[in-house]
Amino acid sequence: MSLAAEAFVSQMAAAEPWPESATLYQPLKEDQILLSDCASSLAVQAYLRMCGLPVQVVYKSNAEYMSPSGKIPFIHVGNQVVSELGPIVQFTKAKGNSLSDGLDDVQRAEMKAYMELVNNMLLTAELYIQWCDDATAAEISRPRYSSPYSWPLSNVLAYQKQWEVRRKMNAIGWGEKTLEQVYDDVTQCCQALSQRLGTQPYFFNKQPTELDALVFGHLFTILTTRLTSTELAERIKSCSNLLSFCRRIEQTYFEDKSS
Amino acid sequence: MAAPDELFCWEGAWGLPSVSSDCLTVLAYAQFAGAPLKLRKISNPWRSPSGSLPALRTNQNETLSRPADIIIHLRKQKFNADYDLSAREGADSLAFISLLEERLKPALIYNSWVDSKNYVEVTRRWYAEHLPFPLNFLLPGRMQRQQLETLRLLRGEESLEGGEELEKELYREASDCMNLLSQRLGARKFFFRDSPSSLDAYVFAYLAPLLKAKLPNGKLQQHLKSLENLSSFCSNILLLYFPHDARESSGGQKSSSPPQPEGGDYDHVPNKRRKQLMSVLVALGAMLSYAVLTGILSIQHMQKEALEAPPPDRQTLDPLDEDEEGDG
Amino acid sequence: MGTVHAKSLDPLPMHGRDLGVHPDDLVELPEPEQESKQEILENKAVVVQHVNVQGLGRTKEDLLGYEISEVFHAKNLIDVMKKSHIARQKLLRLGIFKEVEVLIDTSEGSDALPNGLDVTFEVTEVKRLTGSYNTMVGNNEGSMVLGLKLPNVFGRAEKLTFQFSYGTKETSYGLSFFKPQPGNFERNLILNLYKVTGQFPWSSLKETDRGASAEFNFPLGVTNHTLKWEGVWRELGCLARSASFAVREESGHSLKSALSHTVSIDSRNSAIFPSRGALLRINQELAGYTGGDASFLKEDFELQLNKRLFWDSVLSASLWGGMLCPIGGQPSSIADRFYLGGPTSVRGFGMYSIGPQSEGDYLGGEAYWAGGLHLYTPLPFRPGKGGFGDLFRTHFFLNAGNLCNLNYGEGPRAHLQKMAECLRWSYGAGIVLRLGNIARLELNYCVPMGVQSGDRICDGVQFGAGIRFL
């Protein structure tokens, strides 16, 4: 979705095979990264693992500014730089790796719609909780976000970021929502995902797609990240099939690799 | 349920019940759900209780302005267009609404507010003609800046530089989105089952203005028109649920273009006259105030005379007062 | 002293130019009066009884006291004139008066001594607020510069300047406050607040700096010193999507807080076309000690020697060098490193296009040196001599230099070796145009000789402007 006109990217990327030296950049894992960035980054990592494309994760404190779209994460492959899941999916597709080729038109439409559901509701809710909930912003988001910088720049950057996110929330009409309403939105979103998943192993039956990677990235991150309140994780935990879905992907794509 | 809720909406144009997508969403949903609303079509957002349109004033005197909130409110009043949907279908409609908001909305904002030809010839023109006098100079520009800011924030990029590249990308995303919708809709009449639901309301609201407006730069419009099932979906809803507006437009269409511009002229002429009148008044006012100012200066020189031959400035002021009353 | 001057006095009142002071700014003494007094006073001891300053508005008198007190110590008329003249120069230098005129008269009034003199300075203050407006057009962008100057804000020669530039690409501004020590104008304090945006296409880099600095200038013997603290918030970004990854890695925010000291000795007779004298400037900067993210020690120097030869031609030799040592294991930032090459440094190479690079973006180096040998001559056949033609010089030059990164573990011998290998050099000739007394334009024909792969050369005609030149 970034400035990366995907068509351009795919033109450039075609033919060349996936190099061993591909790297994925994200902010510092221990001290800096925030829930929403971590979720997006995990989604991309999950997607690349599902495709069987090796990528080395690099932690840089200025990853956000290195990214061509200003968004986390981005990958550096050959001399290409591509950020965010959508363009990365296009990019791998141009290189001959795709997870959604087996779907028919309606299924592909549904897959894209559900991906936007995750972006529209889960990602926005994560941003809302990080920056618009005062307790979370003060205790977690601002200190973590500004950790690589020295005073007074740290404060300036953190408040600048908070201000920007709040303006975005106002622009999309989330400004007046209460925290409770946001949690309800998350519940609604999770129930929708849970309904769609049903008893299948993946959203479109046997094969994982980019939607599975995206959902896994967000849910797993929410479940494993400590926030000021556990409410967000609790809302997800009410959908048991999503929990086992997360566990399944973790076991299939993350655990056996590390062992 | 004593008094019905009051809904404030933008006026319609191009055979649509309203020009704004947000208003159309609410209108369509209310029609689908059969909610009895007291409809107020206005062309002055300042007359809405929330200062923006749409706005719903409930009988408890609450004011709601986000379409999603209004729909939730109507649902609570048991006007639920999604009543028949299964849980799975409900999930799907949530997902597709997100798709619309993430993929189609930025392109539509670009199409009508950023693309300069469309903005000047259609969007600004419509608002300038329909807003009441002082606002018609102020609001279109302000609305454009707000929309630009919204677009910038939606994209999350530093600036909206990149002109053509940005347009291409937005339109490509939007065309993709329309393709997906068209595939999802297939040959059916509505997205789910035989009756329209909230998803139909959203799709209709986003696509109908794009389909019906006469845009000079119609790249996106062309694409929509090429997707036959989607465009007939919009016309269908228009015919079934807004027969009044649709007839108006088809009546206009039958006698082809002549009545349309005439109608435009009919709207146009009083404005023109009013503007002419205004400019004459402004010029007159400036001349008079200059005269008064200099008059006052000279009066101070010869105050005694001024007492005898009373107010030359009053004489000059009086006609001005009359003129202003006549105008107001 | 007095007697010496008295002896050589005769021709003097008629020819004020021989006073031995700068010829440009003459004391305009009222002539008839001067002549009539001359007979009576020329050899006599006089006493300056009163010094008046007329025309003061917001200027505080105590400030002027320092500048004109010398006049009281004059013992005879010549001395009075000379000291008044110097005092006038001092007053003008403060930059707070548009005009200063000196009147010397015999004392009048009840307490007047027979040999008493009154000196009156008639001054015209500059306006409280002056504004300026410029438009500038550069490559692919235009900008408008608005300047506001408040000279003498608080009445003691303080100066407040504000500059705002609004461009098609970016806006910059600067607010600066200047405060000299009364009676010692060279000792002054400057405070700055600014935001500057720069685009560096040779590195595909754009940089936005917002910062504050405090600077203290003072002379010490023949040397001039500047002590400075600067705190800058720097924001680096890629100029284009196609920027190399090495530049991309440098993107982001950083805070630099640095202390720096500059010492300079300048005995040249002109800053742009000197014909004699030398300049030595040594600058050292320590960043990180006072906070901030960047920490390094940076040293650099500039040396220039000029010698007049036959027929107004001048031989000039320059040497620059510098080193940057990162402290604390952090790599240096692209914004702090040195750059070399361009029409006013090592000629025959593209602007800052020497040394380490990645995908065509120059990354700068941590050490450099550059030397130049010039022969300046007036234009052939000397058209416009004494006027327009003096703005031009022709020159023949030989430039050399090198820019690289050092491995600080290796020791000085290895460093010297590294600086000596991979040498870049070029020669050529061209025309130089002086712009005011601060900058110059050069149009040169260059022949780059020593070139390393990756350098961007400019073989043939090269045009450029610069304030600092090799």
Question: Structural domain boundaries of chain C?
Answer: 2-125, 183-466
CA–CA distance, C320 with C299 (Å, rounded to integer): 11
Please write the tens of the pLDDT for every residue from B5-43: 888 888 888 888 888 888 999 989 988 888 888 888 888
Task: Residue A143: give its domain's CATH number.
Answer: 1.20.1050.10
Task: Residue A70: give its domain's CATH number.
Answer: 3.40.30.10
Q: pLDDT value at position C64?
A: 82
Phi then psi for residue C401, to 5 deg, are 180, 175
Q: pLDDT value at position A100?
A: 85
pLDDT range class, residue C138, cuts 50, 70, 90: low
List the single residue in A60, A76, A157 with the smallest CB-CB distance to C253: A157
Q: What percent of chain B is modeled with pLDDT above 90? A: 5
Q: pLDDT value at position B328?
A: 33
User: Hey, which chains touch C, using 3+ CB pairs under 8 Å?
Assistant: A
Q: Is residue A214 part of a domain?
A: yes
Helix residue ranges, H only, C361-411: none
| B318 or B271, which is more confident | B271
Rounded to a whole number of angstroms, the CA Rg of chain C reads 27
Domain of residue A47, residue span? 6-94
Contact predicate C426/C470, CB 8 Å? no
Residues A83 and A184 both lie in one domain: no
Q: pLDDT value at position B157?
A: 64
Q: pLDDT value at position A122?
A: 92
Q: pLDDT value at position C292?
A: 82
Judged by average pLDDT, the poorest of B253-262, C42-51, C277-286 is: B253-262
pLDDT range class, residue A214, cuts 50, 70, 90: very high
Please write the tens of the pLDDT for every residue from A129-149: 999 999 999 999 999 999 988
pLDDT range class, residue A12, cuts 50, 70, 90: low
pLDDT range class, residue C56, cuts 50, 70, 90: confident
Predicted ipTM of the assembly: 0.85
Residues of A with CB under 8 A from a CB of B: 1-3, 5-7, 69-71, 105-106, 108-110, 112-114, 116-117, 119-121, 164, 167-168, 171-173, 176, 188-189, 191-193, 195-196, 198
State the count of interchain CB pairs (< 8 A) between A and B: 99
List the single residue in A79, A81, A149 with the smallest CB-CB distance to C253: A149
Of A67, A94, A121, which residue is a domain's last? A94
Q: What percent of chain A is modeled with pLDDT above 70? A: 93
Superfamily (CATH) of domain C2-125: membrane protein fhac (3.10.20.310)
Q: Mean per-residue pLDDT for A21-30?
A: 90
Please identify among residues 165-224 of chain B the ones whose CB lies closer than 8 Å to any CB of chain A.
165-166, 168-169, 172-173, 176-177, 179-181, 183-184, 186
Asked if pLDDT for residue C114 goes beyond 80, the answer is no
State the count of interchain CB pairs (< 8 A) between A and C: 43
Of A41, A60, A94, which residue is a domain's last? A94
Asked if pLDDT for residue B216 goes beyond 60, the answer is yes
Residues A73 and A110 both lie in one domain: no
CA distance C339 to chain A (A): 23
CA–CA distance, A212 with A217 (Å, rounded to integer): 8
pLDDT range class, residue C181, cuts 50, 70, 90: confident
Residues A131 and A78 both lie in one domain: no
Q: At C427, is the secondary structure helix, strand, or coil?
A: strand
| A191 or C1, which is more confident | A191
| B132 or C254, which is more confident | C254
List the single residue in A4, A65, A156 with the smallest CB-CB distance to C252: A65
Q: Mean per-residue pLDDT for C163-185?
A: 85
Residue C152 DSSP class: T
**Under 8 Å CB-to-CB from A102, ≥6 apart: which residues?**
A204, A207
Here the tokens at position A158 are 């953190």
List the single residue in C241, C248, C255 with the smallest CB-CB distance to A149: C255
User: Rounded to an integer, what is the distance from CA C120 to the centroid of its chain?
Assistant: 34
Q: Mean per-residue pLDDT for C453-466?
A: 85
Looking at beta carbons, which residues of chain C come within 8 Å of A158? Answer: none
What is the rounded (10 degree) CA torsion for A88, A89, A92, A97? 160
Here the tokens at position A100 are 């959604």
- A66–C contact, CB cutoff 8 A: yes
pLDDT range class, residue C304, cuts 50, 70, 90: very high
Here the tokens at position C406 are 């050092």
- B88–A contact, CB cutoff 8 A: yes
Asked if pLDDT for residue C88 goes beyond 70, the answer is yes
CA distance C245 to chain A (A): 8
What is the rounded (10 degree) CA torsion for B224, B227, B231, B236? -160
Asked if pLDDT for residue C151 goes beyond 80, the answer is yes
pLDDT range class, residue C372, cuts 50, 70, 90: very high
Judged by average pLDDT, the poorest of B153-162, C277-286, C355-364, C371-380 is: B153-162
For A72, the closest chain B residue by CA position comes to B156
CA–CA distance, A60 with A25 (Å, rounded to integer): 7
CB contact under 8 A, A66 and C291: no
With CA atoms as reference, report the closest residue to A81 among A72, A68, A93, A90.
A68
Q: Mean per-residue pLDDT for A9-17?
A: 61
Q: pLDDT value at position B307?
A: 37
Q: What is the pTM of this model?
A: 0.78
User: Hey, which chains touch B, using 3+ CB pairs under 8 Å?
Assistant: A
CB contact under 8 A, B156 and A69: yes
Judged by average pLDDT, the poorest of A80-84, B48-52, B209-213 is: B48-52
* Cβ neighbour number for residue B138 with a 10 Å cutoff: 10
Here the tokens at position A234 are 């609790």
**Under 8 Å CB-to-CB from A226, ≥6 apart: which residues?**
none
The one-letter amino acid code at C179 reads: K
Judged by average pLDDT, the poorest of A27-41, C52-66, C134-148 is: C134-148
CA distance A124 to chain C (A): 24
List the single residue in C236, C248, C255 with the smallest CB-CB distance to A81: C248
List the single residue in A3, A113, A188 with the smallest CB-CB distance to B157: A3
Query: Which CATH number applies to C183-466?
Result: 2.40.160.50
CA–CA distance, B6 with A242 (Å, rounded to integer): 41
Asked if pLDDT for residue B155 goes beyond 70, the answer is yes
CA distance A37 to chain B (A): 14
The CATH number corresponding to B6-76 among 3.40.50.2300, 2.40.37.10, 2.60.40.1180, 3.40.30.10 equals: 3.40.30.10
CA–CA distance, C394 with C382 (Å, rounded to integer): 11
| B11 or B2, which is more confident | B11
Residues A78 and A122 both lie in one domain: no
pLDDT range class, residue C183, cuts 50, 70, 90: confident
User: Rounded to an integer, what is the distance from CA C176 to the centroid of its chain?
Assistant: 16
Q: Is residue A99 part of a domain?
A: no
Asked if pLDDT for residue C103 goes beyond 90, the answer is no
Of A70, A94, A118, which residue is a domain's last? A94
Q: Is residue A55 part of a domain?
A: yes
CB contact under 8 A, C253 and A153: yes
Contact predicate C311/C379, CB 8 Å? no
CB contact under 8 A, A110 and B184: yes
Domain count, chain A: 2
Helix residue ranges, H only, A1-96: 6-13, 35-51, 63-66, 85-94
Q: Is residue A72 part of a domain?
A: yes
Q: Is residue A206 part of a domain?
A: yes
Q: Is B291 exposed, middle or buried (0-12, 13-18, 19+ CB in 10 A)?
A: middle
CA–CA distance, B26 with C228 (Å, rounded to integer): 64
For C292, the closest chain A residue by CA position comes to A150
Please write the tens of the pLDDT for every residue from C20-32: 334 344 344 444 4
Looking at beta carbons, which residues of chain A come within 8 Å of B172? Answer: 5-7
CA–CA distance, B189 with B195 (Å, rounded to integer): 8
Q: Is residue A84 part of a domain?
A: yes
Q: Mean per-residue pLDDT for C420-431?
A: 88
CB contact under 8 A, B91 and A196: yes
Here the tokens at position C379 are 């234009």
Q: Which residues of A107-129 are buried (b: 16+ CB within 10 A; e: fewer)?
A: bbbbbbbbbbbbbbbbbbbbbbb
| C6 or C431, which is more confident | C431
Q: Is residue A100 part of a domain?
A: no
Looking at beta carbons, which residues of chain B come within 8 Å of A209? Answer: none
- B149–A contact, CB cutoff 8 A: yes
Looking at beta carbons, which residues of chain A come within 8 Å of C238? Answer: 68
CB contact under 8 A, A150 and C255: yes
Q: pLDDT value at position C12?
A: 32
For C239, the closest chain A residue by CA position comes to A68
Residues A54 and A123 both lie in one domain: no
Q: pLDDT value at position C194?
A: 92
- A61–C contact, CB cutoff 8 A: yes
- A224–C contact, CB cutoff 8 A: no
Q: What average pLDDT is seen over chain C? A: 82
Name the residue with tokens 């960035």. Answer: A37
- A3–C contact, CB cutoff 8 A: yes
DSSP3 helix / strand / coil % (chain B, rounded to 5)? 70, 5, 25
* Cβ neighbour number for residue C46 with a 10 Å cutoff: 24
pLDDT range class, residue A2, cuts 50, 70, 90: very low
List the single residue in C233, C237, C251 with the smallest CB-CB distance to A153: C233
Measured at the alpha carbon of residue C128, what is the angle toward residues C122 and C134, in degrees to the nearest 5? Answer: 120
The one-letter amino acid code at B260 reads: Q
Q: pLDDT value at position C230?
A: 93
pLDDT range class, residue B295, cuts 50, 70, 90: low
Residues A14 and A112 both lie in one domain: no
Residues of C with CB under 8 A from a CB of A: 233, 236-238, 241, 245, 248-249, 251-255, 291-293, 359
Q: In what order do the strands lie in the sheet with A74-77?
A: A56-59, A23-26, A74-77, A80-83
Residues A121 and A61 both lie in one domain: no
